[in-house]
Structure 1
């Protein structure tokens, strides 16, 4: 793999966090797949298009895009998730996909080699988003399309209620990111999104509100067991007893049980732009 500039994220996604996502790929897809169709609709993928999936993770979006396209390439920092992505694509018989390990900020994509770039909740983690999106723009043909979803501020949302329930047990817990740092909320401000993409060479930028249902587990106990292993929670526990966090999560998730599963209403920004 070429030089990595986003070293903190590379360490996380090739360590505990990447392994957790790979081991629980079905659970994470259940959380996020409600945004799949809006994202693919925004991308407008055609049968002759070459698609680039940024931060492809376990590869669900890459595989879905490939079913509409000539070919799809998924790129990610995480070796555990790329291993999962390749094995799942093979098991499903999706042959027009390629998965590459790399840092989108510096990865040597062939110039103007893609028609569309997509991403589901991954572009927030660039340490230098302008550099990353500039590199993506270079990889797209003139007029090529970019579509992604990024997190909104969870305050006041279902997820916000869950995070608030555990904040007292994780004193260093932070859900927000400053605009110049990578993290879940680094692209939570629509003005910041437009600023970054404009500087990177994109135009015709639209940022719209999107909502979807996130399935967290079968029961509150099941959801709490899974979510207490999520990377940021695991990190901020720092080896402390996880029992109080799990108890708080189970209590909070109970409000979202509907008899068959635990479901949260999730929100995001759906972004579309053109090179």
Structure 2
């Protein structure tokens, strides 16, 4: 990467967090898969479009976009080298030829002005150090009249997996877990904030729609609890307490998740998000 301003995020996504996501690409895709059709449908990707996928991670949405832009091209950009390595492997395995990936900080990455028809992101735009500057930079990479569509985390209320984690407040040091503000998961959880940021960044025709989708977190309550607590945030919280508290947290989480375990080999939890659309002025 030639330039990075989101240094904390770069460290996280090239450390344990990024390695965990790369190693468990299929599981994380199963968690977020329900938002794909809503996102790509809102983006209205055409067969000749040039698509930019921001914070593409292991590249699932980039490849889906490339299949829609069958005579165009899709570029995925992310901070994480481990996840991009997995993305390139998956593209080769799936034989998606009109896709490429670059490691970079989308807030300052050297995009060619007006090079893209549409920019998309699935939960990849909440971590900018300066979101207004980042979206203005992304806007300049779009052609006049180009489209922006992304999903970002909504408030924790109504999100079943976040509610399950919040049930551990008396055991683990949650701090400001679920609070809006950023950069972080909930930096764009307030739709008024989203609209203000995008207007300041030069976008117009801004729309925000509340959406929900189920995600598969594991085979059963035990498997889903282990996965949640082994992820970056879960590992961070568990690392701040002793063995007894870790054991209590694990048992509590398993008990909480059993309410969602239907015994069919796939424990599903409802996620929520804002589906945001905007355009660059002509």
TM-score range, shorter chain: over 0.9
Matched, 1:42 2:42: yes
Matched, 1:258 2:262: yes
Q: Name which of 107, 118, 121 aligns with 1:116.
A: 118
Contact 1:118 1:146 in 2 (8 A): yes
1:167 CA drift (Å): 1.9
Which aligned pairs between 1:123-138 and structure 2 lie closer than 5 A?
123-138=125-140
**More divergent stretch after superposition (168-177 vs 123-132):** 168-177
Change (3 A) 1:65 1:156: closer
Partner of 1:245: 249
Partner of 2:80: 78
* Count of matched residue pairs: 274
Contact 1:204 1:273 in 2 (8 A): yes
| Distance in 2 between residues matched to 1:12 and 1:204, nearest whole Å | 34
Contact 2:156 2:178 in 1 (8 A): no
Partner of 1:89: 91
| Distance in 2 between residues matched to 1:200 and 1:229, nearest whole Å | 37
Aligned CA-pair RMSD: 1.2
- TM-score normalized with structure 2 length: 0.94
Contact 2:229 2:238 in 1 (8 A): no
Partner of 1:268: 273
Which aligned pairs between 1:1-275 and structure 2 lie closer than 5 A?
1-69=1-69, 70-179=72-181, 181-238=182-239, 240=241, 241=243, 242-260=246-264, 261-275=266-280
1:213 CA drift (Å): 0.6
1:112 CA drift (Å): 0.2
| Distance in 2 between residues matched to 1:29 and 1:206, nearest whole Å | 25
Contact 2:74 2:98 in 1 (8 A): yes
1:157 CA drift (Å): 3.4
| Distance in 2 between residues matched to 1:218 and 1:176, nearest whole Å | 26
Per-residue CA deviations over 1:30-58 (Å, capped at 9, x if unaligned) read 00010000000000000110000000000
SS in structure 1 of the partner of residue 64 of structure 2: helix
| Distance in 1 between residues matched to 2:179 and 2:108, nearest whole Å | 22
| Distance in 2 between residues matched to 1:235 and 1:2, nearest whole Å | 29
1:177 CA drift (Å): 4.6
Change (3 A) 1:239 1:189: closer
Unaligned runs of 5+ in 2: none
